[in-house]
Amino acid sequence: MVQTVEHNPARFNEGDHVQVTIKSPIGHYRVPTYIRGKRGTITKPLGRYINPEEEAFGKNAGNKLWYYMVSFVQKELWPDYTGAPEDVLEIEIFENWLESI
């Protein structure tokens, strides 16, 4: 018999616009501060991964979260950006750090 694991469906799809949550929890977090509060676009859903933020405290217990590649326009990240307007930054972010806009 095939065992199915219950989990919530992914909240975002490719092309969705998202905003990174502004929060400053204490601990080991994988979202660099320069990206917090910024707006970007999902370029690729990456599947579900163990949340390293919980794993760091021994609380992984197979708890996986949806994970996405998100793209940010450089000129919006850095007001004094001098490169081309098309330049982007891509970064992986877990779903618990993303909000719909």
Partner 1 sequence: MSKEHNHPHDPHTPVEHDETPGYYEILEISIRELLIEKGLIKPDEVRKQIELLDSRSPVLGQKLVVRAWIDPEFRKRLLDNGNRAAEEMGITIYDDTAFTVLEDTRDTHHMIVCTLCSCYPRAVLGLPPDWYKSKQYRSRAVKEPRSVLAEFGTIIPDEVQVVINDSTASQRYMVLPLRPEGTEHFTEEQLEKIVTRDTMIGVTLPKIEQ
Q: How far is the CB of 33 from partner 1 (least distance, A)?
A: 10
Tokens of 75: 């000129």
87 binds partner 1 (CB under 8 A): yes
Phi, psi of 54 (to 5 degrees): -90, -35
We find the least distance from the C-beta atom of residue 49 to partner 1, in angstroms, to be 5
- Residue 10 Cβ vs partner 1, minimum distance, rounded to whole Å: 16
Write down the number of H helices and E strands in the chain: 2, 5
Q: Helical H runs in the chain?
A: 52-55, 74-77
Kindly state whether residue 78 participates in binding partner 1, applying the rule CB under 8 A.
yes
**CB neighbours of residue 44 within 10 Å:** 13
- Only one residue has tokens 């992986």, namely 92
Q: Is 86 in the site for partner 1 (CB under 8 A)?
A: yes
Give which of 68, 72, 76 is closest to 93, Cα–Cα. Answer: 68
Site map 8..47 versus partner 1, x via CB under 8 A: ----------------------xxx-x-----------x-
Residues that bind partner 1 (CB under 8 A): 30-32, 34, 46, 49, 52, 67, 69, 74, 77-78, 81-84, 86-94
